[in-house]
Structure 1
């Protein structure tokens, strides 16, 4: 039986090619994803480890120090001196860091967001900082000097002695470049920038005079990291600081890098998973047709003594061989994809750390297992079905049709699954939001999808029948195409299901994304009267000088900075939001369920409904508060407003909050201008701020777009997934039509003999392909619309997007249907040409 199985594989090489391609695509994406993410992760970890070469123990503030009102960082010069004198310590370095934007000579930001950082140059006894060896020039001294990493200096075209425009917290500063240094910093290696100031200047800009972000200690020869850590812990204050070994930090960093790669890995693996899932229909379809064509052969094997188990095993051996070939090919293709992805990322301008391609044994094993297991599982049902055919019945029939009983059982099971799934989804949409609601919704979606997949053969007849009036316009070719499409409902269903799944996902997500975007736009329009929101590009705190500059600009009629400050209310720490109480009402339009906004001044505050409900607060409630500086006071709740993605929390007047803040910084500034949100108004604001590359001036559309950025990213990824699905679906339709042409060779020869020309044969095959593809497209879009509605009800139940309403993207749905039609047209090109080229006499004689 093993030799028979191998002979069958070799005898049907062309017919199995599409199956090999479908499996290979899925495996290639699995192996490519694993190799690519492992390569980037390992290279990033290696680069990160270099940054800890001279660090054996690190002292950092404890997690609660920054959020505890009145708390001061214990990492000062006194602790630094103690750390340097610890037994076993060779040296101690105080580090302070934060965001620093570097402009190129045209005024554009070098680097992106959080990757543009600044720190301090901390010279040792020899006057040099071993972490940052100077390539050119000297270390910075004084508030108007700085040094820059070599990579950024080269990108910006800067040399020692140049004056460079930089920004730390908003205002543009012109600094003299005194030195260019080299570094192993992983952020710089990934394309970021690093600026260095003298310690006093860095402390003033990033923390507070005399304070450090961390203290790095190097062990003396012969002292272990653990022993040094034990010694360091003896000098630490009882609260506010922790000591960690360099090895622990390396491990934590490695874990962080691996975790940060999980999102990309999971997204790419999702593509591969859907491709493989869609590929299972092609595999099952291929083996079903191969088994049907070999019915007499299998019956003869049964007649001469082969058991049912041996027949099934022979089919599975064929699948194993095909799966192994596809898996090995996919693994090799995946390695190529990984190399291409790394080159592509580098070509976009992002700097990828150097390192070899990482092909781990687990990647090889997973790729091979995925390819073989998926293929064997998909072929199991056709193999089992082949073994159940009685030998005598099989010898009398070339094609064993499904019995009435089996079709009835299938339809009953499909109806039960679909009904249960629909009921579960409808139940979930009527429940209040919770973890169980999500679980019920997920289970319902899964059951409904399975039910529809099982019922697809039953649905094919009535849905394809709807196309009959149009097909009649093509004459006999159209009539034959419709009859061929419904001749084998199972095959038609399996072929259409591949496209159905892809279009279901993309239609549903497009509708949800479009609806969410519209809801966010409504929210921004409804809650904001401000024309612009001004903030740092990195989302780091903004200097209060920016708000003062904007307020003094003639174009601005009202403005308010938004400030955050931790405070203890009762037993928990809450963040207070400070605003310009006089102008806040001119810049926002909040819906109040209790009280009103009024004028924010003194101890009066307003709070969002979610926080008020959680804490049990109401209008008139008086809250005892411990402010950031440790002083106590009372806030009176004057109103409860409806929370949204833009404005939420406890809001009070900045005049009340500012006296209690250690360092006054703004998160963003709301601005209303004379002429509204126009290009001219925006240009005036940008000019007033010194054309600062570190600051963004965003209108309402920009604000809503920024909030919806994650949705847009997900949607773009899903469009990539659709492309993958379409490729596999095309292979499936080609496979089905090619085998259908082979099976109907005699029939096609007869049609040619009685007068149907080659053009008519081609048209018949094309129309059949078009009908099958549109059938899958209609089912997919219909399911996508249903799931989009159900997801929308779930989103509304969360209360996060109160303005959410399901909006169907009619234009894109029409485009998706046109795409399904194009799949049908393209997939039919080769099978139609092959059918038309058949010799009619040889075809009539074929069995």
Structure 2
């Protein structure tokens, strides 16, 4: 039986090729994901570890936890503590570290590194081995900086050039005194690092005379553990924490690993979808192979082969196919991993150098997935073949499914579909994250139910295409009959395409609906012409709001200034606004009371009021950062949204208590309304700061749309793998169907149907099957998009379903195109059959 199984594999090489390709693509995606994430993670970890080469122990200020009504905050490291550290036995050198956000503009005024990885620090001098100079000299004074070599290369800056730099206040224009080399992970990831002398860094990024950390290097013969113990003894205070360089590197490696795990899981989800789609193709292929070899298997049973041996022979074939697909998929996956890394470089992402990492887990996963998926998909056809009585198989009495099996299948499909719909509908009544798991479970059950019912659905849906098919005469009629001749085969082929289109349509519906909901939220909540904020999401300096308020172009402005407070022992955040102008800049619906802000009167959103059991007239005591308290009264309750929410109080009441006044945003109304000239004047008022963005409501909408478009395009690209696998399934089914119907095609040729008619018949059959899968996929996608929207609507009142009719039409056309392209080779093969040889074929 083993030799027989191998012989069958080699005898049906061409038929199994598409199956190998389908499994190989899925395996390649899995192994490529593992190789890519391992390679990137390893490169970042090695780069990060290099950054700690000169650090044996790092000292940082301890964070004081908040107690009672007192807010906690980190301490500071002083020059006296640095002097103490330098005198500890076992210390070779100690460096006081100052660091913080620093933005650099390129020669065109654009922000370098996107802002999120834009950092600034202090240069310690000749002893600072962290940043060896490539050219120039160390920075001295407030008018000099040093920049990293990566930034210098990307921007074209060199020693002597003037650079625009922003910390969080006015734009600075220092001269580049030197260019240095660094292994800092933020720089290798595309960010920038700017160095000041220590006094300037303390003034700009911290407090004069203080440090954010102290990096200590051990003397020869002193281990990190011994140095840490000596420092703990010398620094007899609970205000500092000491950590060894090894632990810093290990912790950083764990952070990198966790951050990469999200990317890995996301990519593996799409790989799983491709494999899931591939499973239909494998099962379909083996079902057809077994059906075409029924008489052969019956003969084996007649000469003494047992049911287990027949099943085992099919599984051996599947094992060989899966092993070949697993090995080729692994090799392809290694190539995909390398290609993805190069692709990120073309998108402008700078990655650390490092070798391609192929871990044993990737090899095992590739082979295991390839073999297990294939054998699992082939097990049911093999078991079904073994249960057919030899006499019935030889006389082809087994060909038609029994009424009992059809009733059982349809009943089971209806049950799964009903349960899936019920669970999804129930999940829409839940709120937020509570409904995510039930909805996911219901979606899976519903898709399985629809797949089981697909043979039943194929007849009426394909029959609906009869009027169109009649236009093509005999070829169209034959195509319709061939499509419904074997409903199970048609269903398995269409289901592969259905799953891909379900996901694509569902995500498109959700993205479009979310986009409109956010647009409505912004336009409904804001009357302001512009919203000013930091491009990297950090807080604005209070100087920004003051400059805008003093501008002659501005008629009304208000900062949104967040401040933590303690209320009844719990931390809450109050938002300071200009009580006299906020009404002109926002349009918030007030449910109770009045929108009156000033003195001790505050307004709160509905959620905050319910959480704290407040209503109009309620009073509460807020304990501020300066350890003083204010008794505040609720004057009104409003409907909050994603733009404005929480408790709003007058900024004149809040600011005296805030130790560090910073604004999330500043709302601005100008004399002439929204115009490019008004926007340019505001930008110039703020010193053409590269990190500050001035956005109108349309700009906000466009930026949100850009994010959704980018995400959708990425998801479309990932789901393209599943669609490619589905195309292979259609090709495979048609090719095997052509082989199965060779005799019939030969007869059609003999009685006068020409080669063009044969080609047209196969193409129309493929088109009908693909459109059938497309209709099911789009229908399910709309349902899932609606259901997910209902779930989101509980936390987003402006959400409403938006059906992207144009895109759904494109998806249906693409499904048809898939059918036409998939039929090219099978149609050509069918047309080229020798009619006499085909008629004599068994």
Normalising by structure 1, report the TM-score.
0.96
Question: Is residue 769 from structure 1 mapped to residue 766 from structure 2 by the alignment?
Answer: yes
Q: Distance in 2 between matches of 1:162 and 1:722?
A: 47
Which residue of 446, 456, 459 corresponds with 2:457? Answer: 459
SS in 2 for 1:812: helix
Which residue of 792, 796, 800 corresponds with 2:793? Answer: 796
- TM superposition shift of 1:30: 0.8
Match of 2:409 in 1: 410
Match of 2:262 in 1: 263
Match of 1:443 in 2: 441
Match of 1:277 in 2: 276
Match of 1:294 in 2: 293
Q: Distance in 2 between matches of 1:72 and 1:833?
A: 74
User: For 1:715-748, what per-residue CA distance to the aligned partner results, in whole angstroms no more than 9, with x for missing partners?
Assistant: 2232113322221111111111111111111111
Alignment of 1:248-259 (within 5 A): 248-259=247-258
Q: Distance in 2 between matches of 1:367 and 1:413?
A: 33
Match of 1:834 in 2: 829
- TM superposition shift of 1:72: 6.0
Match of 1:79 in 2: 81
Question: Is residue 811 from structure 1 mapped to residue 813 from structure 2 by the alignment?
Answer: no
Question: Is residue 594 from structure 1 mapped to residue 592 from structure 2 by the alignment?
Answer: yes
Contact 1:146–1:175 (CA<8 Å) still a contact in 2?
yes
Which residue of 745, 748, 751 corresponds with 1:748? Answer: 745
User: For 1:170-202, what per-residue CA distance to the aligned partner results, in whole angstroms no more than 9, with x for missing partners?
Assistant: 421111222222212121122211111122221
Match of 2:350 in 1: 351
SS in 1 for 2:201: helix
Contact 2:162–2:174 (CA<8 Å) still a contact in 1?
yes
Question: Is residue 40 from structure 1 mapped to residue 40 from structure 2 by the alignment?
Answer: yes
Question: Is residue 606 from structure 1 mapped to residue 608 from structure 2 by the alignment?
Answer: no
Alignment of 1:176-255 (within 5 A): 176-234=175-233, 240-255=239-254
Contact 1:577–1:649 (CA<8 Å) still a contact in 2?
yes
- TM superposition shift of 1:708: 6.3
The farther-off stretch of 717-726 and 6-15 is 717-726
Contact 1:169–1:536 (CA<8 Å) still a contact in 2?
no
Match of 1:508 in 2: 506
Contact 2:66–2:72 (CA<8 Å) still a contact in 1?
no
Alignment of 1:87-106 (within 5 A): 87-106=89-108
Q: Distance in 2 between matches of 1:843 and 1:398?
A: 23
- TM superposition shift of 1:476: 1.1
Contact 2:76–2:212 (CA<8 Å) still a contact in 1?
no
User: For 1:731-785, what per-residue CA distance to the aligned partner results, in whole angstroms no more than 9, with x for missing partners?
Assistant: 1111111111111111111111111111111111111111100100111111111
Which residue of 116, 122, 125 corresponds with 2:124? Answer: 122
Match of 1:679 in 2: 676
Question: Is residue 57 from structure 1 mapped to residue 57 from structure 2 by the alignment?
Answer: yes
Against the structure 1 CA distance between its residues 649 and 237, is the aligned structure 2 distance closer, same or farther, given a 3 Å change threshold? Answer: farther
- TM superposition shift of 1:546: 2.0
- TM superposition shift of 1:710: 5.8
User: For 1:247-297, what per-residue CA distance to the aligned partner results, in whole angstroms no more than 9, with x for missing partners?
Assistant: 111111001111111222122212211111000111011000000110000
Which residue of 86, 109, 112 corresponds with 1:110? Answer: 112
Contact 2:683–2:689 (CA<8 Å) still a contact in 1?
yes
- TM superposition shift of 1:651: 1.8
Question: Is residue 7 from structure 1 mapped to residue 7 from structure 2 by the alignment?
Answer: yes
Question: Is residue 644 from structure 1 mapped to residue 641 from structure 2 by the alignment?
Answer: yes
Q: Distance in 1 between matches of 2:15 and 2:59?
A: 66
Give structure 2 stretches of 5+ with no counterpart. none
Match of 2:329 in 1: 330
SS in 1 for 2:301: helix
SS in 1 for 2:94: strand
- TM superposition shift of 1:44: 0.6
Contact 2:64–2:72 (CA<8 Å) still a contact in 1?
no
Against the structure 1 CA distance between its residues 83 and 194, is the aligned structure 2 distance closer, same or farther, given a 3 Å change threshold? Answer: same
Contact 1:677–1:699 (CA<8 Å) still a contact in 2?
yes
- TM superposition shift of 1:691: 2.5
Match of 2:523 in 1: 525
The farther-off stretch of 690-699 and 516-525 is 690-699
- TM superposition shift of 1:602: 1.6
Contact 2:421–2:446 (CA<8 Å) still a contact in 1?
yes
The farther-off stretch of 497-506 and 784-793 is 784-793
Q: Distance in 1 between matches of 2:613 and 2:371?
A: 58
Question: Is residue 820 from structure 1 mapped to residue 818 from structure 2 by the alignment?
Answer: no
Q: Distance in 1 between matches of 2:539 and 2:793?
A: 32
Q: Distance in 1 between matches of 2:74 and 2:499?
A: 57
- TM superposition shift of 1:704: 4.1
- TM superposition shift of 1:439: 3.1
SS in 2 for 1:177: strand
Against the structure 1 CA distance between its residues 844 and 194, is the aligned structure 2 distance closer, same or farther, given a 3 Å change threshold? Answer: same
Question: Is residue 578 from structure 1 mapped to residue 576 from structure 2 by the alignment?
Answer: yes
Match of 2:475 in 1: 477
Contact 1:97–1:119 (CA<8 Å) still a contact in 2?
yes
Contact 2:36–2:337 (CA<8 Å) still a contact in 1?
yes
Which residue of 719, 734, 738 corresponds with 2:716? Answer: 719
Contact 1:70–1:627 (CA<8 Å) still a contact in 2?
no
The farther-off stretch of 139-148 and 414-423 is 139-148
Q: Distance in 2 between matches of 1:473 and 1:133?
A: 78
Normalising by structure 2, report the TM-score.
0.97
Superposition RMSD on alpha carbons, in Å?
1.9
Contact 1:2–1:314 (CA<8 Å) still a contact in 2?
yes
Q: Distance in 1 between matches of 2:74 and 2:294?
A: 83
Question: Is residue 492 from structure 1 mapped to residue 490 from structure 2 by the alignment?
Answer: yes
The farther-off stretch of 342-351 and 253-262 is 342-351
Q: Distance in 2 between matches of 1:382 and 1:112?
A: 55
User: For 1:783-841, what per-residue CA distance to the aligned partner results, in whole angstroms no more than 9, with x for missing partners?
Assistant: 111111111111123x2x11111111111111111111111111111111111111111
SS in 2 for 1:141: coil
Q: Distance in 2 between matches of 1:76 and 1:640?
A: 46
The farther-off stretch of 131-140 and 413-422 is 131-140
Against the structure 1 CA distance between its residues 631 and 91, is the aligned structure 2 distance closer, same or farther, given a 3 Å change threshold? Answer: farther
Alignment of 1:125-204 (within 5 A): 127-204=126-203
User: For 1:690-719, what per-residue CA distance to the aligned partner results, in whole angstroms no more than 9, with x for missing partners?
Assistant: 332211111213334555666544422321
- TM superposition shift of 1:440: 2.7
The farther-off stretch of 298-307 and 783-792 is 783-792
- TM superposition shift of 1:25: 0.5
SS in 2 for 1:109: coil
Against the structure 1 CA distance between its residues 86 and 705, is the aligned structure 2 distance closer, same or farther, given a 3 Å change threshold? Answer: farther
- TM superposition shift of 1:618: 2.0
- TM superposition shift of 1:354: 0.7
Against the structure 1 CA distance between its residues 665 and 211, is the aligned structure 2 distance closer, same or farther, given a 3 Å change threshold? Answer: farther
Against the structure 1 CA distance between its residues 154 and 73, is the aligned structure 2 distance closer, same or farther, given a 3 Å change threshold? Answer: same
The farther-off stretch of 213-222 and 306-315 is 213-222
Contact 1:295–1:400 (CA<8 Å) still a contact in 2?
no
Q: Distance in 1 between matches of 2:735 and 2:802?
A: 40
User: For 1:229-256, what per-residue CA distance to the aligned partner results, in whole angstroms no more than 9, with x for missing partners?
Assistant: 2333345575553222211111110011
